[in-house]
Amino acid sequence: MKHLLYTMTALSVLLLACGNQKKANNAKPVKVSSIENKGITPDSELLTSSVFIQKIWDYTKSPNDWKYLGSKPAIIDFYADWCGPCKIASPILEEIGVEYSGKILIYKINTDQEQQLAKVFGITGIPAFLYIPVVGKPVMTSGIGRSKEETKKMFVENIEKYLLIKK
């Protein structure tokens, strides 16, 4: 019983820590590695709302009609600087971006800075990943694996399943 209570408490703390909430006033922002190391993935880009509307989808003109504006499949990483699991996922996603360079685009949205975009997609927990095929509807996933290998496998499986669909 004590073990179950401990496990539930630890899980609750983890979920609260990674929910879409503001960082505490005394928290120091931590840079996400892909932003610190610009250029690792040539197709990676930090999105603002205005760039999102130009490159991905103009939700202001057609809020109920998804129309992807890009020419390559894409992944959008919804993250925050203070989120531990986001810091784990970021370098793995960078590796994936290098491996799939020229085939997919990688975008990042800081949910603290782009709250409207997070709201448009109903982001309540991070990290969250939006897989956008060139044709068809996007698919949202969240969370990471228990290890680097599991997380990388999750990204690869989702890319193959949702983005690089064999016809």
Among residues 137, 18, 32, the alpha carbon closest in space to that of 85 is found at 18
Q: Active-site residue among 75, 76, 83, 96? A: 83
CA dist 56 and 37 (Å) reads 23
Q: Active-site residue among 47, 86, 118, 128? A: 86
CA dist 50 and 91 (Å) reads 26
Respond yes or no: is residue 18 known to be catalytic: no
Among residues 146, 14, 123, 29, the alpha carbon closest in space to that of 76 is found at 123
The residues that are catalytic are: 83, 86
